[in-house]
């Protein structure tokens, strides 16, 4: 059977898509079993924890809890509620919950100019952050562990530069300029918290500060911190600003530390908590996953717009958490039995749940908790007994729930009548609940690879169709109904050397040549390429440049091809167009030119006049577009007659 070209093309596309989907599903798969793959290590570790903690009963021992807040974005230019409500968080929330630790995982300040485009450190924002924490007095009874985010690193020449206010106006900055470890021994629990600072050095102004970079020195530091944590603690909590999908490790002598491998290599590692992605603007509100190494990664929604924070606990070696909106009381966290979605075989003593005697619940409010009750069927309710502190317990018979997935319903009420109802799924036989597909994609893929793939695809879309059409001797015969005329116009456009070669050469230039030469940091000239940035004699492999280039290709270069094809069609076959009709036909180019001018203007606001003048990607492409448009409209009569003859050829 002889296949047509269209059928063969479709088969090739389907094969490429199937390979892509297979690789994608393999990367984000969580149907792995860390415990089976690491049976000896995992079994020995969980047995050790089981012997250490013993039976889970109504005792308040072997329990520790902490808070996380991320992406505070304190700003003196917008949304004063961030500051006032952050003050409430310190004055009321932290004091009501009394956590052993508070983690502040980056973007402590906004560092954006009043126009929302320029970016630089604002000392007054840092003073607000520091004074609120100190004046609230929370550091007198809890340990505040903060770390930098990309906004805290905007426009910073070096880690020791004067404008790096994190050193003087954060809680940990004076002691730990970058990554560090903090050991906690409290209430029978030994826990290490490792802060991962992946901020690039130097720190560029936005937008080229989206991806975190671990240089060789920082990789070695993290390895030492991990070794120290393993030797001193049973549980390791990793925290940082960037998700692991947004952290790039530099390579030296063919060696590179993979941050996911590092976290997973420690037997005590249970979770990596982070921020940065802002729950994708609320589109992925619960961005959680379990990595192939058997630990959790939990991105926390931002404080900036959503006022979110996280309560987490380790109870007899079991890690639990709940994300909560500010000023919403009561707060309820079930620590035993553990939530079925977040069980960690080989990393926590799950066997203790089956032999436990009590359900254990942490309940907090800004006033006294009046009652906590539970039910397995929403019909018969049992009142929990209050112990010392916020722990509420209720006797249960776990053997009644040996198999399958079950739910325990919790209702907590405080003395002013505020009520919190919670449905908590659990399983004792290892039955698991799935994680959302978007959560897995956002946290398990490599952002750098995604950016490069999108850029490469758009680059091919920009060039390959035009090259293929140029090689075709006769007019295309596909898409006769909807796209035939545009396709034919593109085919004719590809035959014009003065149009074809500039477009192809520009597309070849984009992945290799410099895009911008300008003041990327105050006082320092740098050069931006697709593959990275050169500044201060340093090479920064910032993959976000590919996204910047993708915007140019998607919203400028590809539309330019269509606009030029439309102009050519009008030039050849629209001789009768006069007056307003001719004006309307030129509106697409006017709109495209407006987009280009707007993009160039934004870049001028972000990086200044030098980058605007020496900007082949943004500014110079405007000149190229105008020239190509002008050449299309002013084709010589001889050239027009030649193209019309080509158009009349049979398909």
pLDDT tens track for 517-527: 988 888 889 99
Contact 436, 477 (CB under 8 A): no
User: Are residues 101 and 112 both part of a single domain?
Assistant: yes
Q: Which two tokens stand for residue 379?
A: 């019909």
User: Is residue 360, in this structure, part of any structural domain at all?
Assistant: yes
pLDDT confidence tier of residue 2, bands split at 50, 70 and 90? very low
How would you classify residue 278: left for phi > 0, otherwise alpha for psi between -120 and 50, otherwise beta?
left
User: Is residue 218, in this structure, part of any structural domain at all?
Assistant: yes
The pLDDT tens digits of the residues spanning 371-426 come to 999 999 888 999 999 998 899 999 999 999 999 999 999 999 999 999 999 999 99
Which DSSP letter does residue 177 get?
S
CATH number reported for the structural domain that contains residue 218 in this entry: 3.60.21.10
Contact 466, 504 (CB under 8 A): yes
User: Is residue 54, in this structure, part of any structural domain at all?
Assistant: no
Helix (H) or strand (E) holding 332: strand 331-336
User: Are residues 431 and 344 both part of a single domain?
Assistant: yes
User: Are residues 275 and 342 both part of a single domain?
Assistant: yes
Contact 359, 337 (CB under 8 A): yes
pLDDT confidence of residue 209: 87
pLDDT confidence tier of residue 1, bands split at 50, 70 and 90? very low
User: Is residue 356, in this structure, part of any structural domain at all?
Assistant: yes
User: Is residue 12, in this structure, part of any structural domain at all?
Assistant: no
User: Is residue 26, in this structure, part of any structural domain at all?
Assistant: no
Q: Hey, which of 1-10, 16-25, 329-338 has the most confident mean pLDDT?
A: 329-338
- Rounded Cα–Cα distance for residues 495 and 472 (Å): 10
User: Are residues 518 and 636 both part of a single domain?
Assistant: yes
pLDDT confidence tier of residue 28, bands split at 50, 70 and 90? low
User: Is residue 15, in this structure, part of any structural domain at all?
Assistant: no
Q: What torsion, rounded to 10 degrees, do the Cα atoms 626, 629, 632, 634 define?
A: -60
Alpha-carbon 392 to chain mean position: 36
The pLDDT tens digits of the residues spanning 193-226 come to 999 999 998 999 888 889 999 999 999 999 999 9
Q: What is the value of pTM for the model shown? A: 0.90
User: Is residue 328, in this structure, part of any structural domain at all?
Assistant: yes
User: Are residues 361 and 510 both part of a single domain?
Assistant: no
The strand order across the sheet containing 269-274 reads 180-186, 189-196, 235-240, 269-274, 296-299, 287-290
User: Are residues 382 and 472 both part of a single domain?
Assistant: no
Contact 421, 409 (CB under 8 A): yes
Helix (H) or strand (E) holding 129: helix 123-136
pLDDT confidence tier of residue 650, bands split at 50, 70 and 90? low
% of the chain with per-residue pLDDT over 70: 89
pLDDT confidence of residue 29: 62
Of 422, 444, 466, the last residue of a domain is 444
% of the chain with per-residue pLDDT over 90: 61
- Rounded Cα–Cα distance for residues 156 and 162 (Å): 9
pLDDT confidence of residue 30: 60
The pLDDT tens digits of the residues spanning 427-480 come to 998 888 989 899 999 999 999 999 999 999 999 998 888 888 888 777 766 555
Name the average pLDDT for the chain. Answer: 88
pLDDT confidence of residue 609: 87
pLDDT confidence tier of residue 189, bands split at 50, 70 and 90? very high
- Looking at the structure of the chain, the number of domains it has is 2
User: Are residues 558 and 477 both part of a single domain?
Assistant: yes
427 or 633, greater pLDDT: 427
**Three-state helix/strand/coil letters over 472-525:** CCCCCCCCCCCCHHHHHHHHHHHCCHHHHHHHHHHHHHCCCCCCEEEEEECCEE
pLDDT confidence of residue 39: 57
Of 444, 472, 490, the last residue of a domain is 444
- Rounded Cα–Cα distance for residues 390 and 60 (Å): 9
User: Are residues 395 and 457 both part of a single domain?
Assistant: no
User: Are residues 372 and 456 both part of a single domain?
Assistant: no
340-348: average pLDDT: 93
User: Are residues 290 and 435 both part of a single domain?
Assistant: yes
Residues 6+ apart with CB under 8 A from 623: none
User: Are residues 440 and 459 both part of a single domain?
Assistant: no
Q: What torsion, rounded to 10 degrees, do the Cα atoms 625, 626, 629, 632 define?
A: -110
Q: Which two tokens stand for residue 33?
A: 């079993």
pLDDT confidence of residue 588: 85
Contact 352, 47 (CB under 8 A): no
User: Are residues 403 and 460 both part of a single domain?
Assistant: no
pLDDT confidence tier of residue 87, bands split at 50, 70 and 90? very high
Residue of 344, 368, 507 lying closest to 430 (CA atoms):
344
Which residues constitute the domain of residue 550? 447-647
291-305: average pLDDT: 94
Of 407, 427, 444, the last residue of a domain is 444
568 or 592, greater pLDDT: 592
Q: Cis (ω within 30 of 0) for the bond into 147?
A: no
């Amino acid at each position: 059977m002889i296949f047509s070209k269209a059928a063969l093309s479709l088969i090739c596309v389907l094969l490429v898509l199937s390979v892509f989907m297979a690789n994608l599903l393999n990367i984000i798969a969580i149907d792995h079993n860390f415990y089976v793959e690491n049976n000896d290590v995992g079994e020995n570790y969980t047995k050790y924890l089981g012997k250490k903690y013993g039976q889970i009963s109504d005792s308040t021992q072997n329990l520790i809890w902490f808070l996380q807040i991320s992406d505070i974005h304190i700003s003196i230019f917008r949304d004063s509620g961030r500051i006032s409500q952050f003050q409430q968080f310190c004055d009321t929330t932290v004091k009501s919950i009394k956590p052993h630790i508070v983690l502040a995982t980056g973007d402590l300040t906004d560092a954006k100019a009043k126009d929302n485009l320029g970016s630089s450190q604002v000392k007054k924002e840092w003073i607000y952050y520091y004074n609120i924490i100190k004046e609230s007095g929370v550091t007198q009874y809890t340990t505040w562990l903060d770390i930098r985010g990309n906004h805290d690193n905007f426009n910073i020449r070096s880690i020791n530069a004067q404008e790096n206010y994190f050193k003087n106006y954060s809680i940990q900055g004076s002691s730990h300029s970058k990554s560090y470890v903090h050991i906690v021994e409290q209430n029978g629990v030994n826990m290490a918290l490792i802060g991962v600072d992946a901020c690039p050095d130097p720190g560029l102004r936005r937008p080229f500060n989206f991806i975190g970079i671990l240089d060789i020195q920082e990789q070695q530091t993290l390895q030492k911190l991990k070794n120290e944590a393993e030797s001193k603690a049973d549980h390791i909590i990793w925290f940082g600003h960037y998700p692991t999908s947004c952290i790039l490790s530099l390579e030296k002598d063919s060696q590179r530390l993979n941050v996911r491998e590092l976290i997973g290599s420690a037997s005590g590692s249970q979770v990596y908590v982070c921020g940065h992605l802002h729950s994708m603007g609320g589109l992925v509100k619960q961005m959680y996953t379990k990595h192939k190494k058997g630990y959790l990664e939990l991105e926390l929604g931002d404080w900036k717009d959503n006022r979110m924070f996280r309560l987490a606990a380790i109870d007899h070696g079991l890690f639990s958490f709940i994300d909560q909106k500010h000023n919403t009381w009561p707060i309820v966290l079930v620590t035993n039995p553990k939530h079925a979605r977040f069980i960690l075989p080989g990393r926590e003593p799950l066997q203790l749940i089956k032999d436990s005697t009590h359900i254990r619940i942490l309940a907090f409010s800004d006033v006294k908790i009046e009652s906590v009750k539970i039910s397995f069927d929403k019909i018969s309710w049992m009142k929990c007994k209050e112990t010392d502190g916020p722990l509420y317990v209720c006797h249960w018979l776990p053997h009644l729930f040996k198999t399958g997935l079950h739910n325990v319903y919790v209702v907590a009420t405080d003395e002013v009548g505020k009520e919190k109802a919670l449905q908590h799924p659990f399983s004792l036989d290892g039955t698991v609940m799935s994680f959302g597909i978007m959560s897995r994609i956002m946290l398990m893929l490599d952002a750098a690879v995604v950016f490069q793939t999108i850029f490469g695809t758009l680059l091919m879309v920009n060039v390959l169709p035009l090259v293929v059409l140029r090689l075709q001797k006769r007019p295309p015969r596909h898409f006769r109904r909807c796209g035939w005329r545009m396709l034919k116009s593109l085919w004719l456009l590809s035959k014009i050397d003065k149009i074809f070669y500039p477009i192809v050469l520009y597309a070849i230039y984009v992945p290799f040549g410099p895009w911008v030469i300008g003041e990327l940091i105050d006082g320092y000239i740098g050069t931006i390429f697709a593959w990275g940035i050169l500044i201060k004699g340093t090479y920064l492999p910032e993959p976000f440049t590919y996204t910047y280039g993708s915007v140019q290709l998607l919203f400028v270069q590809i539309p330019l091809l269509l606009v030029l094809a439309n102009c050519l069609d009008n030039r050849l076959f629209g001789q009768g167009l006069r007056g307003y009709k001719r004006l309307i036909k030129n509106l697409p180019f006017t709109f495209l030119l407006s987009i280009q001018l707007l993009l160039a203007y934004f870049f001028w606001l972000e990086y200044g006049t030098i980058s605007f003048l020496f900007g082949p990607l943004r500014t110079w492409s405007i000149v190229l577009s105008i020239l190509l448009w002008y050449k299309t409209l002013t084709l010589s009569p001889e050239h027009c007659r030649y193209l019309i003859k080509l158009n009349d050829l049979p398909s």
